[in-house]
Amino acid sequence: MSRLTSLSFGLLLAAGSLVGAAPKPGPQPSKPPPTCRFALKTTQEQVLKATDDFIWDMLYWEGKFHQNSVAYNSLNGMTYDGTLLDWTTGEPTQLHTFSAASKEALAFMLYAQVIKGSKEAARFLSPDDLKAAPGIARSILSTKLQTYQNFNQTYPGFGGHLPWFTSDQQDIAPTYDWVNRVPGLDNGELLWAIYACIQALEKAPGSDKTSKELAAHWQLWLDYAAKTAPKVFYQGDGKVCAVVAIKDQSLPLDHPDQSYSCESPTSLLDDPYEGETLAYFLQLYTDLPAKEKDAIWTYKRSAGKLAKVEYSQGGVGPITVRKGFWFSSHEVWNQLELPYFDVDIVKRVFMNGERVRTCNSVVTNTPGLYASVNNSTDPATGEIQGYISPAGIPSISWQTDSYLDVVTPYGAFPVMMFDKAVGLAWWRNMVVAKKMQNKYGSTEGARIDGTGVSAIVTWDSKVLTVVSLLGGVTDLVRDKMKAENVYQDFLRITKTEYGRIFDGPLEGENVKLCLPKISIPDAELEDFTSCSA
């Protein structure tokens, strides 16, 4: 979760690889399904050697999240945030009947890969009938479209963009704390995910008339969002809002009484992390004048958040990396969507980031990886004890506060973009701990001393990892960018912005990704009874 959206669900809680390669034939689907605690049956060495087999088992269980009405509402096609799990049984106790554009983005990325024909994505969505998966994805997208359109009719003030919303009724509505407000970051993520999905619907092998029609409808939606984005999110002087205050969500955009402003003068989206997805969208797909587009990048530069820093600790380093906000894995979400790695220096800098992410955990004797995540559950109440934003690597980050007692399997998703085997070794190292697998796959997070887990399952902590294993959607995005002649512009800006900061040699490119060396200790928790060895 980003720092921005984390604020919002804080309130809610208080109240309540590479794409493109032909899909490798996975192990036979006819093999008996893996057991719920399959991770306990594998060693780190096996994960490293038989990585594809491990992925096949993992996708089977992560997919249960989607197949059991926990992840989305089949009546309107919209995501649910996730669900709390009972501390003892691991059965769902409290469905989070709300969601946000960021979770929608993960759903679109997943469906894009299913439609594109990824066997692995199909294993997640429909393990008993892989061939049925693209049809299921298309059907959800079609239901979802209707819901998006209804929302736009009732709340035209959003201009097609989404606030945090309730999704348990046929029609979605802003959650009580997002009335007349809309976040930029999550919508930037969503726009590119829809973009990728359109490309998949249009171009997938076997794409038929219905597929192309669905693509055309979503393209209309995207065009509309592109038309409204400057008015909703852009303030002038290069400033893009992190959270927009809408005068009246029920009034159309062009109504004389309608207006938009950044929620506060400092509520700006000027980061080089996930928030950058919106900047690129405004640049490449809106009718903002060229002068304003330039101003966005000038403003980001003046904010100075894209910066270089060297990591050195415990005999590891120096390694040159991009300075983190917290260096939470969540911050590199945009790399699953936009083809940043096509720029050599960017790819090398980000690879260095994963050297540091993995080796820092080894030198600090940490049995897992850090990312902003839900805190552990209070077993007495079954409630999550707040949200941990400051989970990362403080020594190479802007934010120096930290809470480093909880690790999360999804911390490994950026490692998987460079090395699936090593990333999965870390993922395994976390999920073998007590209670870290449940009937919907991996559990959100674990205390590093083994005394607690976050007994919740969410899109962020599960599907980010799955999407990363599928290679993100960068191939689809690149293809559409090329077809629409915006790819060169993307490369030019990315080269310029990163080239300014990373203009000399990088330190540490010879360092190997580190593997976990220690385990989460057994502090006598019991596995969930619905998923025990």
Ligand X SMILES: *[C@@H]1O[C@H](CO)[C@@H](O)[C@H](O)[C@H]1NC(C)=O
- Least spacing, CB of residue 461 vs ligand X, in Å: 4
CB-nearer residue toward ligand X: 252 or 314: 252
CB-nearer residue toward ligand X: 71 or 316: 71
**Nearest by Cα to 340 from 524, 477, 463, 241:** 477
Cα(313)–Cα(142) distance, integer angstroms: 51
Q: Any contact of residue 395 with ligand X (CB under 6 A)?
A: no
> Among the candidate windows 63-71, 126-134, 150-158, 415-423, which touches ligand X by CB under 6 A?
150-158
Sketch the per residue contact string, 39 through 78, with ligand X: x for CB under 6 A, - otherwise.
----------------------------------------
Q: Are 181 and 163 in contact (CB under 8 A)?
A: yes
Q: What secondary structure, in 3-state letters, does 175-195 show? A: CHHHCCEEEHHHHHHHHHHHH
Q: Which of residues 346-375 bind ligand X (CB under 6 A)?
A: 373-375
Q: Any contact of residue 81 with ligand X (CB under 6 A)?
A: yes
Sketch the per residue contact string, 438 through 467, with ligand X: x for CB under 6 A, - otherwise.
--------------------xxxx------
How many other CB atoms are there within 10 angstroms of residue 400's CB atom? 9
Q: Which of residues 89-108 bind ligand X (CB under 6 A)?
A: 96
Q: Any contact of residue 156 with ligand X (CB under 6 A)?
A: yes
Q: Coil, strand, or helix at residue 353?
A: helix
Rule CB under 6 A: choose which of 51, 126, 376, 438 binds ligand X. 376
Supply the DSSP string of 222-273, one letter for each residue.
HHHHHHHHHHHHEEETTEEBSEEEES-TTS-TT-TT--EEESSTT-B---SS
Cα(356)–Cα(318) distance, integer angstroms: 10
CB-nearer residue toward ligand X: 19 or 388: 388
Rule CB under 6 A: choose which of 93, 142, 385, 395 binds ligand X. 385
How many residues in the shown chain lie near ligand X by CB under 6 A? 26
How many other CB atoms are there within 10 angstroms of residue 489's CB atom? 14
CB-nearer residue toward ligand X: 15 or 22: 15
Sketch the per residue contact string, 187 through 226, with ligand X: x for CB under 6 A, - otherwise.
---------------------------------xx--x--
Helices 344-363 & 487-501, crossing angle to 10 degrees?
Answer: 50
Q: Are 376 and 447 in contact (CB under 8 A)?
A: yes
Cα(34)–Cα(46) distance, integer angstroms: 15
Cα(468)–Cα(93) distance, integer angstroms: 28
Rule CB under 6 A: choose which of 252, 304, 314, 379 binds ligand X. 252
Q: Are 377 and 383 in contact (CB under 8 A)?
A: yes
- Least spacing, CB of residue 162 vs ligand X, in Å: 13
CB-nearer residue toward ligand X: 22 or 380: 380
Around 241, how many Cα atoms within 13 Å sit in the side-chain half-sphere? Answer: 21
Q: Are 295 and 359 in contact (CB under 8 A)?
A: no
Q: Which residue has the tokens 């996975």?
A: 26
Q: Any contact of residue 246 with ligand X (CB under 6 A)?
A: no
Q: Any contact of residue 1 with ligand X (CB under 6 A)?
A: yes
> Among the candidate windows 57-65, 110-118, 383-391, 474-482, which touches ligand X by CB under 6 A?
383-391
CB-nearer residue toward ligand X: 9 or 487: 9
Q: Could you tell me the two tokens for 216?
A: 């055309």
CB-nearer residue toward ligand X: 208 or 257: 257
Q: Which residue has the tokens 């980010």?
A: 464
Task: Summarize as ranges the residues that interact with ligand X (CB under 6 A).
Answer: 1, 9, 81-82, 96, 149, 152-153, 156, 160, 220-221, 224, 252, 373-376, 385-386, 388, 403, 458-461
